[in-house]
Amino acid sequence: MMTIETLEPATIQQALFQNPDEHGYYGSFGGAYIPEMLQRNVAELRAAYLEIMDEPSFKQEFNQLLKDYVGRPTPLFYAERLSKELNSNIYLKREDLCHTGAHKINNTIGQILLAIRLGKKRIIAETGAGQHGVATATVCALKGMECIVYMGEKDIERQAPNVARMKLLGAKVIPATSGSKTLKDATNEAIRDWINNPIDTHYIIGSVVGPHPYPDMVARFQSVISKEIKEQLLEKTGSENPTHVVACVGGGSNAAGAFYHYLDELDVQLVAVEAAGHGIYSGMSAATTQLGKPGVLHGSKSLVMQTKDGQVVEPHSISAGLDYPGIGPLHANLFKSGRGVFLSATDEEALEAAFHLSKIEGIIPALETAHALSALKNLELTPKDVVVVCLSGRGDKDLATYMKAMGL
């Protein structure tokens, strides 16, 4: 094992939930636990990211691309029939209408612009289901950057359409053939690549996970979601604040984006929904806050599903995007502090919610998103409540699963 940098957590619990401390800690979670040989890359990023993101020319280009390329602002849609059924007020934040079909592109646009300003020539990423790989390959094509995506050999077989998309977009997909041949192994390959190419390569991480500054950087890029919700809700209801914001959590980037500008507004209830798979305690689940213990995964300290002796447990969810044994440190802190409410939905419940939204609102959601929708029935909503659900992605990619569940 290589040497590990361990940063001591801040001794004083932060009053606010939005920003990590200078070492990247949200309460007792976060930090940068990385091999010695990555120190330089991560330190370079840490020293530069806030300054670059604050440059007027960066903001201008980022916002212009979000508008003209991604299609932002995404609508905030009042779901009338669903609201009537739940006797409340449900708004859907339509991230499913983003270019490439989900929120992930908000982050990859931000990171490619940052990589260019850092003088990088080469982009690497790892992907499980392929969604982040597609979002990364997309922005590399947009900017003419070399793109290498590491993907477990088993995932390459299971996710053929996304592999084809990445290749169409000009990316090189390299199979990870070690271990279980899935996401964890792809991550190891990407880290190895970064160690070998420290000068010219930027590693685009796809969620609010990884060593500091990634969780904060990704949350900031995704925070456009709650920035827009505030403006849109003010226009529609006369108030910027809903009573609840609901989002599904894999690593936690769409939830971080939807929560971001509400994190320190304590009257807004933040509801995170994890994947319970076949049931939280079935041994086939991805409900990290319910099952996880503090541990280090992908370079930061967070809650991790693990055995007694610290081996990472293979998670299960019907939705590939939630099939992750950890959770971003921002969310671990929301859970531990009680600032966030953490619920879960099983595979079965998610399917039901996806079918229901399709029929009642004419919107076929991604399976990940369906977990968030499924939790609405557990919230004991009243007619006074205003609930925003982050509709993180569209269901096209899940059609095969939906067909199977319908017996087609």
Residues lying near ligand PLP in the complex (CB under 6 A) = 102, 104, 131, 207, 248-255, 321-322, 366, 368-369, 392-393
- The distance of closest approach from Cβ of residue 132 to ligand PLP in the complex, given in angstroms and rounded to an integer, is 6
Give residue 157's identity as a one-letter amino acid code. Answer: E
Partners of 270 in the β-ladder: 245, 340
Pick the closer one to ligand PLP by CB: 10 or 330: 330
Tell me the residue number closest to ligand PLP, measured at CB.
Answer: 393
Secondary structure (DSSP) of 166-180? HHHTTPEEEEE-STT
- The distance of closest approach from Cβ of residue 39 to ligand PLP in the complex, given in angstroms and rounded to an integer, is 26
Pick the closer one to ligand PLP by CB: 93 or 104: 104
Of the candidates 210, 244, 239, 247, the residue with the CA atom closest to the CA atom of residue 328? 210
Pick the closer one to ligand PLP by CB: 7 or 204: 204
- The distance of closest approach from Cβ of residue 40 to ligand PLP in the complex, given in angstroms and rounded to an integer, is 27
Of the candidates 341, 395, 340, the residue with the CA atom closest to the CA atom of residue 368? 395
Q: What is the 3-state secondary structure (H, E, C) of 70-131?
A: HCCCCCEEECHHHHHHHCCEEEEECHHHCHHHECHHHHHHHHHHHHHHCCCCEEEEEECCCH
- The distance of closest approach from Cβ of residue 135 to ligand PLP in the complex, given in angstroms and rounded to an integer, is 8
Pick the closer one to ligand PLP by CB: 89 or 356: 356
Pick the closer one to ligand PLP by CB: 242 or 393: 393
Pick the closer one to ligand PLP by CB: 361 or 368: 368
CA distances, 42 to each of 24, 48, 194 (Å) = 12, 10, 10
- The distance of closest approach from Cβ of residue 401 to ligand PLP in the complex, given in angstroms and rounded to an integer, is 13
| Cis, peptide link before residue 56, omega less than 30° from 0 | no
- CA 366, distance to chain mean position in Å, is 14
Which tokens sit at 299?
């370079």
Name the phi and psi angles at 28, rounded to 5. -100, 10
- The distance of closest approach from Cβ of residue 245 to ligand PLP in the complex, given in angstroms and rounded to an integer, is 13
- The distance of closest approach from Cβ of residue 95 to ligand PLP in the complex, given in angstroms and rounded to an integer, is 7
* Whether the Cβ atoms of residue 229 and residue 72 lie closer than 8 Å to each other: no
Task: Write out the catalytic residue numbers.
Answer: 104, 126, 392
Please give the Cα distance from 290 to 31 (Å, whole number): 22
Please give the Cα distance from 382 to 368 (Å, whole number): 25
Partners of 148 in the β-ladder: 124, 172
221 CB contacts (<8 Å, ≥6 apart)?
A: 106, 107, 109, 110, 111, 257
Please give the Cα distance from 408 to 5 (Å, whole number): 52
Residue 229, exposed/middle/buried by CB under 10 A (0-12, 13-18, 19+)?
buried
